[in-house]
Structures are given as C-alpha cells and as structure tokens.
Chain A
Amino acid sequence: MTIIDLKPGQCGEIYEMTLDSKIKHKLMEMGMTPGTSVQFVRTAPLGDPINIKVRGFNLGIRRDVAMNITLK
C-alpha cells in the first residue's frame, strides 16, 4: 500500500520510500522518516500533485513520488 491508496482524510505510517536519493533525503529532512504518520488530504483539481499532511504541516508532492512511498 502506498500514499495514493489512501482515501482523502485517511492516515498511514511511512514504511519505506523507494525514491532517488536526492528527493528522498529532502523529504526525510522535512520530517518524512519511516514510522511517521502521513495523512492524505486531497488530490489537486487536475489529478496531480497531491496534498499530504505530515507532522502538522501541508505538503504538495507529485503523484509519481507518492506512489513510491509505501505504508505499513
């Protein structure tokens, strides 16, 4: 299961991010470390990007990134 499999409003816990190391590092430094709870807030009107909430703040990331963030 990944972030985009969540329904709007649902939460999940990050298990692993299979992403290229630059963006992965950036996301981790913003608080998306394994075990962190993420909430899927909503999809942008045109289907991409998506709005998620981690550690109390809102973040926009692209769908192809979200697809590679698996949840526990």
Chain B
Amino acid sequence: MGHSYALTGNPNSGKTTIFNELTGSAQYVGNWSGVTVEKKEGFIKNSKINVVDLPGIYSMSSSSIDEVIALEYITEENPDGILNVVSASNLERNLYLTLQLMEMKVPVLMILNMMDELSRKNIKLDVDRLKEIFDIQIILTGQNDRKNLSRIKEIDLKGLKSNFARFSYFSKEIQDGIREIASHISLQTLTQYKADPQWLALKIMEGDNKIIEACCAKDAAIIEKAKAIRLIIEKSEGVEFSQLLAAQRYSYLGEIAGQVLIDADGNMDRESVSEKIDKIMTHRILAIPIFLGIMWTIYYITITGLGSKSIEVMEWLISDLFTGAVKALMVTMDVSTWLQSLVIDGVIGGVGAVLVFIPQIMILFFFISILEDSGYMARIAFVMDRIFKKFGLSGKSVIPMLVGSGCSVPGIMATRTLENERDRKLTILLTPFISCGAKMPVYLLFVSAFFAANSHWVVFSLYLLGIVTAMVSGVVLTKVRYKGVESDFILEMPPYRVPALKSVLLHMWDKGKDFLIRAGTIIFAASVIMWFAQSFDLSFQMVQDPSTSVLADFGRLVAPVFAPLGFGDWITSVAFITGFVAKEIVISTLSVLHGVSQGALGSSLTEFYTPLSAYSFMVFVLLASPCFAAISVMKRELGSWKETGFSILYQTGTAYLLSMAVYQIGSLFIK
C-alpha cells in the first residue's frame, strides 16, 4: 500500500496547479477563491503515492459545503500526511492554517508556492528561519519552477516529526486549560478517536460540536469542564474564545512575518501593477461599461470576427469532403439507398450540424478561460454585488453564473462556495438561465440565417436577456419561495495574473474535446433515433415523406402548445423536446428532419420561420429547462427531486412566457 497525502491550503494558493503538476492530470485551475469544490484524487507520476486535491480553506472552521468537504477529509480520513500549500505572496494569512495544522500534530510538509510573485515584489524570504520556526521541511516552488516538487516522492511524510512550540503563542490561561483538559481525556477516547490529546482538548474547549460529537459525546464531565474553563477565560478577556485564539495566533504570525520577510527596497506597501489595473477595472464610472464591453467583444470575435470564416471551412470539410467520400464508399460497398440515407441524412446530417460550430465553441472557451485565469471574475462579483443584492442575491452568485456561461454543470457545482443555503438553492435555479456554450450552436445557426448583418448583436442581446431573466427571477422567487436573509459578502480579490497560454489552450482543448465526444455519442445516438422515427409510420412502414411518420404525428400532437410562440410545425416541437437531452441536439434535429445538408439548412429554415419567430425560438432555447446533465447535477446539489422539478418547471415556464411575449408583442409591430 502506498501513502495517501492531502493537499491543503488557502483558497487560490495553487493547490490544484501543484496537483496537476504532480499527477499529470488537468483539473481546473482558475484565479479566484473556490475553484475546486470537491476532492480529487490522483497518483503522483511514477509512484504509488496517492494525493488528494481539496477545496481551499482559510482555517480549520468551515461555513460552506466546499470547506466542509476539505475539513472532513483532514480530520476524519486520517491522511498519511499533509502537503500544506502556502502562498508565499500572502504569507501571514496562509500560515494561519499552517499553524492550525501544526496544532493537530499531524505530519506536515510545506510547499511554499508563488515564489515568483514574491521575487517580483522584490521581497526576500528567509526560508531557513521559517523551517526553523516550524521545524518542518519546506519545498520551494513557483510558476515555471516546479522541479523541487519531485522531492515529495523522496520524503516519507508519515515519519515526519516536528518539535514546533505549538500553543506557546496562547495566553497562559489557555495553555493551562489545554493541559488540564488533555489530562482528563480518557485513554479509551484517544484509542477510538485517533487524535492528539492536546489538540482535542483545544477543540473541546472551543466547543467544536462536530468533533465533540465524534470523539466524546458521552463524556459529559469533560465537556462541562472545558466549557467552564472557556467561560472563565471569556469573562476575564471579554472576547469570545475562538476569537481570542485567532487574535493570539495572528499576533504570533505577525512576529514570524517580521522575522522571515525581508523587504528589499523597504516599501512593502507600494502600489502593485494589479492595484493599478484595478483602478480602471473597478472604476466608478468605467467598471460596468468595461464589463459589458469585454463580454460584447468576446461574442463579437467568436461569432463575427473569427467565427464566420470557421463555419465556411467546417461546412466545406463536412458537406463536401467528408460526405462525398462516405457516399462514394457506400456506393462501392453496395449499401442500399435507405441505409445510405441513415448515414448521410441521419448520422452525418445530425452530427455534422453540431460539428460545424466546434471551432466557435472552442474560441468562446478560449476567452472564458482567459477571464477565469486573469482574476477578473472576482472583480465582476465585486462590481455586481450591489445590483445582485437588490435582486435578492449576493455578488458571490456572480461567479457560478460566469462559470455557467461556459457550461451550467460546473456553474451549478460552483454554488458550493455560497455559505447561505437559500442563496445556494436560488443560484442553482438561476444559473441555467445564463447562456451556455452548448446553446451557442443554436444561435449561430439561426443568426447566420436570419440576422447575418448584425449577428453578434443578436447573440449578445440573448446573453443579456439571460442575465436579466435570472435577476428578475431572483426578486420574484425571493418573495415567493426562497425567503430569508441573504448571506454575508466576504470576497477575496486575488492579484491579476497573466493567464498561462498553456493552461488556456489546454482548457480550450478540453472543452472542445468534450463537445467532440458528445457529438460522437449522444448526438450520434439521437440523430440515429430521430432518423428512424421520421422514416417510419405507426405501422412500421417506411414512409416517403417524413411528414407522415410517427415522429411527425407525435410532433403535431405537441405543436399547438407552441403555436402561441410563433411556430405550429411538428419539426420545431420535436426539436424543443429533444433539446432537453442536450442543447446542441436542437440543431441536429432540425438538420435531420429538414433533410438537407449543413450548408443548406439555413436557407431551409428561412422558409419555416420569420426573423421574429426565429428570435422567439432562440429565446425559448436560451431559457428552457437545461439539458440532462445539468438536471442530473441540479438534483445532486439540491438533494431533492421536488426542488429540481420546481426548477425545471420554473425555467421552462419562464421560457414559454417570454418567448410568447417576444412573438406576440413583436407581431404587433412587425407586420
């Protein structure tokens, strides 16, 4: 059996970066606090050592789900050792957690990360002194300098011992209390609950219910005793016990920082580049226009700038080159005509309709990835908090929504960092309103057919509509369903960082690959099913005209429901319904059922829709219930089908009403 180490540290200290480096995986890295929201395991390359990447924590107490996950792992799963990732550019606060880990008396190896940032600030660090103080080994690392990490393999963490003077920074009363309680903890408790007695004593004194419950719920005497000591101390100091601990730890950390950090030009507080950038990005007047401008530019480049060229190339590749080759091959294989149709109109038609847009999806993710890596996300949350507060949410809900503009699934996951249960549920419900990457192909198809002249404006308007719908829904739902107080807003704003090209490209490729795999699997399957359903009638006879097929019968049954939105045809109804499986399937469906090749689909659509009903169509796709995957994650995060069902109904209902409004009101003006 190899060892198992936990990567622990403050949020945004670089744990996942180091995890990826050690294990060769590609877990998500971003420049804000709370990127990782669940534990991830992997093996260090060429070894049997298992490492677990955990969500970041500021201290050994937790207030949100992601923090609970990290803490439970450290205190309950007894890892063989802790790899404590410390950001050197934010030493004092990062060491607060280190101090608490040392108090636990578990084996700790410190990985001092972000050394590059420290030297950029022109600050020197006396590593030897730091080693001496904590009596531990330290591995130094930074961007572009990860070679020291290989030393982890050579160190047996389990054997590490430290003579760090833990608790020495607490007042005498507290130290006495710890000793007193520790001496009363029974041997039985200690053998059952594997923990250091003094640490346990401190936890009992703090009144950490979770730990008390686990270790010594039955030992009422000790709990009482600890409480008595705590009350005496609190009374004499006039401060809550846990706050007293924090204050005393920090005053010690202040001393340490004074000893180990050497400011080379004696100007530690000089304004950094990051702060200069912030002057503009969070500027009183410019901040909001800048945000909108950035989003607009992203959509402009994705759709018009680079996008339109990429469509032409992809269409040529798929319809001309690939379809031609496959056709020729099937003819030589003597494949019957109906099967040729399945392959050409069904499979290639359906899958190809999505593939055409893959380059654009990758471009979109390229930009989202830059946004996430730069540190701008936290600024958007900072700027938008006021607005979101008005709509019953907190600025922190902005981050799940921004992540959701790539894909709702990680967006919904990101709500784990919200401390308040009400905020979290509401944000889970609202995140799918933000337009995701998979909805993009639908817009792209429609705008190129109907709004070619100002396509990016139309898509941008949908993006804004998604945001506005989410916010208005926030107000409505706060009034009727998610009552309660909104949570506190404490948001760390990390320094801006230049996104590493490698990680941006990797991320882009990762997302592109996801879409490719989806195209090859569910979209493939859906296209095949769709082709069969439109080729046979109820008596399993092959039909000449798809409009006499089972699928058409079914579509016509549903069609009246959608008539008020501007489309009473069976194909649209079927497309909407298949959209529940995955958003891109909407266009695969259209492509298969219209029975035309990629290039011709647009013009075929113009016979079915007016620009107005096309817009109404996009509004429905934007807002209606998210895809299977998102529903499944929603269910997991909400923990109940009832809540999930409500969300789906609410989203689909909103979509219906709004696209009806668009169509009906629009019809009054456009004759």
In-complex Cβ contact of A28 among B243, B288, B381, B488 (8 A): B243
B383 touches A44 (CB 8 A): yes
Contact between B492 and A59 (Cβ–Cβ < 8 Å)? yes
- A70 CB to closest chain B CB (Å) equals 15
B387 CB–A CB distance under 8 Å: yes
Contact across chains for B282 and A33 when beta carbons are under 8 A apart: no
Q: Is the CB of A72 closer than 8 A to any CB of chain B?
A: no
**A7 proximal to B (CB < 8 A):** no
Note all chain B residues with C-beta closer than 8 A to A62. Answer: 385, 488-489
The 8 A CB mask of A24-47 against B (1 = contact, 0 = none) is 111111110111100101111111
- Among B251, B275, B285, contact of A45 (Cβ-Cβ < 8 Å): B285
Provide the residues of chain A in CB contact with B567, threshold 8 Å.
none
Task: Determine how close the nearest CB of chain B comes to the CB of A17; give it in whole angstroms.
Answer: 9
Q: Flag if A56 contacts B246 (CB, 8 Å).
A: no
Whether A33 and B251, one on each chain, are in contact in the complex, defined by CB atoms closer than 8 angstroms, is: yes
The closest CB in chain A to the CB of B60 belongs to A29
Total count of chain A residues near the partner, CB < 8 A: 35
CB distance from B248 to the nearest CB of A (A): 9
Would you call A45 and B250 a contact (CB within 8 A)? no
Cβ contact within 8 Å between A65 and B247: no
- Give CA–CA (A48, B390) in the complex, Å: 11
Report A-chain residues with C-beta under 8 Å of the C-beta of B491.
Answer: 49, 59-61
Chain B contact residues: helix, strand, loop or mixed: helix
Contact call B61/A29, Cβ cutoff below 8 A = yes
Determine if A2 is an interface residue (Cβ-Cβ < 8 Å): no
- Which residues of the other chain, A, contact B268 by a CB distance below 8 angstroms? 56
Q: Find out whether the CB atom of B282 lies under 8 angstroms from the CB atom of A31.
A: no
Residue in B63, B250, B386 whose CB lies within 8 Å of A48: B386
Task: Determine if A48 and B240 form an interchain contact, defined as CB atoms under 8 angstroms apart.
Answer: no
Which residues on the A side are within 8 Å of B481 (C-beta)? none
Tell me the chain B residues, 209-255 only, with Cβ under 8 Å from chain A: 240, 242-243, 246-247, 250-251
B480 within 8 A of A: no
Q: What residues of A have a CB within 8 angstroms of the CB of B492 in the complex?
A: 30, 57-60
Q: B96 an interface residue at 8 Å Cβ cutoff?
A: yes
Question: For the complex, is B490 an interface residue (Cβ under 8 Å from A)?
Answer: yes
A59 to chain B, nearest CB (A): 6
Question: A45 contacts B490, CB within 8 Å?
Answer: no
Which 7 A-B residue pairings sit nearest by Cβ, starting from the closest?
A: A46-B386, A60-B491, A28-B246, A58-B493, A29-B59, A33-B247, A45-B287
- B residues lining the A interface (CB < 8 Å): 58-59, 61, 63, 89-93, 96, 240, 242-243, 246-247, 250-251, 268-269, 275, 278-279, 282-285, 287-288, 378, 381-383, 385-387, 389, 395, 488-495
A-B contact pairs, 6 of them (CB 8 A): A26-B63, A28-B250, A30-B58, A34-B247, A45-B283, A57-B90
A residues at B contact (CB < 8 Å): 21-31, 33-36, 39, 41-49, 51, 55-62, 65
